[in-house]
Amino acid sequence: MKITTAKSAGFCFGVQRAVDLVYKEVEVGNKVYTFGPIIHNEEVVSDLNKKGVIVIEVPEELKALPKGTIIIRSHGLSEKLQKQLSSYGHIVVDATCPYVKKIHRAVREKSAKGQHIIIIGNRSHPEVEGIVGWCNTNFSSSKSSDYTVIENDFEAEAFNIPKECKVCIVAQTTFNYKKFQDLVEIILKKGYDIFVLNTICNATQERQTEAYQLARGSDAMIVIGGKHSSNTRKLYEICKNECENTYYIQKLDDLDLSLLKSYRNVGITAGASTPNNIIKEVHTVMSEKSFEQLLEEEKVVKINNGDVVEGIVLGVKEDEIILNIGYKSEGIITRSEYTNTPNLDLRTAVNVGDAMQAKILKVNDGEGQVALTYKRLAAEKGNKKLEEAFENHEVLTAKVAAVLNGGLSVVIDEARVFIPASLISDSYEKDLAKYAGETIEFVITEFNPKKRRIIGDRKQLIVAKKETLKKDLFEKIEVGMTIEGTVKNITDFGAFIDLGGADGLLHISEMSWGRVENPKKVFKVGETVKAFVKDIQGEKIALSLKFEGANPWINAETKFAVGNVVSGTVARMTDFGAFVELEPGIDALLHVSQISKEHVEKPSDALKIGQEVSAKVVEFNREDKKISLSIKALEAPEKDAEAEAIDADVTAE
């Protein structure tokens, strides 16, 4: 027969703490009372009774008892009862489980803000009775609307309060997690403004999950615990659903070993109020091993602050990871100790069953759990990586995590690197916001983690890359070559084109065969331009778009031969005439004397910029690229003859 005992079986932290407190008080000789049985286990309660511990059920019993120490059990009490206990002059020791205390604080805070409290759990359980007592600090109030206890689907469906009420949902720490989720879902559908606190103890979740998995793979299950233990009953229900041959016992005497002879795989689990000696006793008898042998086989894990441990993820909440590290308590990684990313939902980053390493911050965080950090361990590894990169001048790649005043912050394995604005680029960067979320390359130029000074430099990579590109560019570039680039900057006198390693200047006079008044109207930053290299002087590259094949003067001698009538647009005017653009790159002079046969004082008296005119070519000089026009020469020759005749008559008279 193979016998497997659940690792989580037995006393949880809260119960162990309460029981230890009672035994400690007994050992020092104090008179000890407990308000209700310290745990739901008759064996433990009976043993304490033999040692003189008295269980009281109501505060008034203390009046007739000698002064001593009264211990509040791990289930907790209402605030009203706690005050009553203190009024009788006894020393009160509060052994309420820290998980339960957390619920008390939460319901008191939310209740004080006017929120309606829903407690999901067994209304007759002492823990729930205690929680109810923290829902309304006004003890004289009997308003039933302050809280509601819900145990099942029927009660969840029937829940009904005014829609404008805000609702806070908590749970009995030992409640079935799956059932809790189902009941919350029913309430959520009602449309209230709801704040849900999953207050089920991590140990309870772990115990229930482990029991479920163990029961699925076993031929029989033994569940050990007190008959009045709520969490043990839930373990029994979970195991019974998965394994028909499940037996609920309180001690070894309750177990009929003959029922187990035919089973090959038997699992053992136990409630949070079951002493370890009972679990060991059951296991010993079933496996025919001595108790001493079991103790020798038991592996006791010892941990210290600062240790690096490896564990398996048992559960993940939005802001918390529960890790099984092989210790008697679970390890907890809060969101702030997992990452520097604000508001990250941890359920999107980690899955149940994942293996992960963490570093111990505190062996006991005050609530019986081990406080762990993943972020700081990752940062240490990240710092090591950054140190190696610093020493080896390694180029690193990372996404910009934040844009700060004066620079950028990037993260390498949770280790932060600051890149000052002056080291981001080889030119002044006015708007750093464009780098948010971008992946960039950089090198570490200063590494001093003790002073939290780890400096990155992106500029030197850009400069080095440009030097390489520049060298490559000047090795292949030559005058007359057509080259492609990107408009980097535009001025009044031209545009600077990034050729991939160096900039070339496209002067305004080289932008077109025609006239360009304003380069900014012709080009835009970022635009791709094809030009040819007109000249190279050292590292200065002059570009041109005046390709010879597009030279308008190639066929101008035919188009604009003397005597041809042509059309054009008045482009500009001077005192002596107007310049008419016949086509881009070819302007012709219309002298003031050739504008009309009538006397024209200045060109602007007869013409306007942009006006279209027709004129006759009266002169063409290809060598000097000069063309002269005349409108006057187009006027009707009849008028000239008539005028000459009139002049002749006048002369004859």
Catalytic amino acids? 127
Alpha carbon of residue 261 to chain centroid: 55
Strands 355-362 and 308-317, how do they pair? antiparallel
Q: What is the DSSP string of 625-641?
A: TEEEEESGGGS-HHHHH
Report the alpha-carbon distance of residue 493 to residue 350 in Å, rounded: 59
Alpha carbon of residue 187 to chain centroid: 30
Choose among 39, 50, 88: nearest CA to 68: 88
Report the alpha-carbon distance of residue 552 to residue 568 in Å, rounded: 14
Strands 91-94 and 54-56, how do they pair? unpaired
Strands 91-94 and 69-72, how do they pair? parallel
Strands 482-490 and 528-537, how do they pair? antiparallel
Choose among 598, 604, 597: nearest CA to 577: 604
Contacts of 315-320 with CB under 8 Å at 24 or more apart are: 315/202, 315/205, 315/206, 315/209, 315/352, 316/346, 316/347, 316/350, 316/351, 316/352, 317/198, 317/346, 317/347, 318/345, 318/346, 318/347, 319/346, 320/346
The backbone region for 566, taken as left when phi is positive above 0, alpha when psi lies in -120 to 50, beta otherwise, is beta
* Phi, psi of 254, rounded to the nearest 5 degrees: -80, -10
Report the alpha-carbon distance of residue 467 to residue 126 in Å, rounded: 77
